[in-house]
Amino acid sequence: MNVVIPDDYQDCVKTLDCYPKLSGHNVTVYNDTVKEIDALVERFKDAEVIVLTRERTVINEELLSRLPNLKLVSQTGKINYHVDVLACARHGVMVCDGSGSGAATVELNMLLILASLRNLVNEAERLKNGLWQGTVGRQLWGKRVGILGFGRLGGQLSHLLKAFGAKPLVWGRDSTMDKAKQAGFDTAASREEFFKTCDILTLQLRLTPETLHFVKASDLAMMKKDAILVNVSRAELIEPGALLAGLKKGQPGFAAVDVYEQEPVLGASDPLVHLSNCLCSPHLGFVEKDNYEHYYGTAFDNINAFAQGKPQNIVK
């Protein structure tokens, strides 16, 4: 089958141990992202299969209507809002996905939390520039860390934070709060308490129509002047422009973000990158070799199963 893999930023897919699974197919890999519909059509016009790396490329009605050869979309990880599954069904395109542990994303949450508390990036840059200690950092032990959402990742992060001596505080829907309580974690009595009292606040929600722009400017305005907001989930969970405005006003006092409304961020085009009180990383949450082996390995297995007439992991 003609397989197209877009958005391989690091040119790493062909180096993965799982790549030989595609040895029986004609594979084309692109190392950049294009957004314009004509450019996407040109890349995908001969594709019978498209392998998606998370949400980097959107598959919608407009695109599908111009890809008559497409038979299968094989997603690395779980399908999200970027694939119109109903439109795929209308065009006779099957959609398959996979799963992941989320461990790599949880680890990045911890990395950004610790690096923010200890001013690690700034201090490393000072040393490169011939300077010595310039700031006094803070420890994680004893800090109240807000967990907005208590799904698979939120639960993992809460346990990890507790092991570091932090005090996780969960908030979300009633079902979220019940789940957190059953796991032995404290929950906030109200939205106001959650945003006002946390020293560090992390977003652990999936992006859905219900969670879109869930965090408002008014929420950020309640945060402590020295609070840290960490977002390794999705930029769209926060009201547009709210984080930028809040950081400029000093509430929250600092942020660490791994996700942006428009990706990839090239030429330092996102204004958050230029703020001294924001630590920005280029969406590294799931970008880790073991994770890639699992994600792509499953996506390639889906292709082979489809080619053999025994499709698996079908999204309906």
312 assigned to some structural domain: no
Same domain? 207 vs 77: no
**What is residue 116's predicted lDDT score, i.e. its pLDDT?**
98
169 has a pLDDT exceeding 90: yes
Q: Given pLDDT bands bounded at 50, 70 and 90, which one contains residue 284?
A: very high
217 assigned to some structural domain: yes
Same domain? 87 vs 108: no
**What is residue 225's predicted lDDT score, i.e. its pLDDT?**
97
The chain-wide mean pLDDT, for the chain, equals 97
314 assigned to some structural domain: no
Neighbouring residues of 134: CB distance < 8 A, sequence distance ≥ 6: 122, 123, 126
176 has a pLDDT exceeding 90: yes
Same domain? 168 vs 22: no
221 assigned to some structural domain: yes
The CATH number of the domain where 144 resides is what? 3.40.50.720
185 assigned to some structural domain: yes
40 assigned to some structural domain: yes
pLDDT (tens digit, 9 = 90+) per residue, 105-130? Answer: 999 999 999 999 999 999 999 999 99
pLDDT (tens digit, 9 = 90+) per residue, 255-267? Answer: 999 999 999 999 9
Same domain? 242 vs 144: yes
316 assigned to some structural domain: no
> Which residues span the domain enclosing 299?
2-101+289-307
91 has a pLDDT exceeding 90: yes
Element (DSSP H or E) covering residue 28: strand 26-29
Mean pLDDT of 96-110: 93
Same domain? 112 vs 254: yes
Same domain? 71 vs 179: no
Same domain? 255 vs 243: yes
Mean pLDDT of 246-261: 97
Let me know: does 200 contact 194? Beta carbons within 8 Å.
no
Q: In what order do the strands lie in the sheet with 94-96?
A: 26-29, 2-5, 49-53, 72-76, 94-96
pLDDT (tens digit, 9 = 90+) per residue, 55-66? Answer: 899 999 999 999
Same domain? 35 vs 51: yes
Same domain? 36 vs 89: yes
Strand partners, 279: 256
pLDDT (tens digit, 9 = 90+) per residue, 7-38? Answer: 999 999 999 999 999 999 999 999 999 999 99
Same domain? 75 vs 6: yes
246 has a pLDDT exceeding 90: yes
Q: How many structural domains are present in the chain?
A: 2
Same domain? 66 vs 34: yes
313 assigned to some structural domain: no
Q: Given pLDDT bands bounded at 50, 70 and 90, which one contains residue 81?
A: confident
Mean pLDDT of 84-101: 95
**What is residue 282's predicted lDDT score, i.e. its pLDDT?**
97
Q: 19 is written with which tokens?
A: 């790549």
Same domain? 150 vs 46: no
Q: How far apart, in whole angstroms, are the C-alpha atoms of residue 282 and residue 255?
A: 14
Q: Quote the percentage of the chain above a pLDDT of 90.
A: 96
Q: How far apart, in whole angstroms, are the C-alpha atoms of residue 90 and residue 61?
A: 9
Let me know: does 272 contact 248? Beta carbons within 8 Å.
no
Mean pLDDT of 188-215: 96
pLDDT (tens digit, 9 = 90+) per residue, 123-162? Answer: 999 999 999 999 999 999 999 999 999 999 999 999 999 9
Q: Given pLDDT bands bounded at 50, 70 and 90, which one contains residue 101?
A: confident
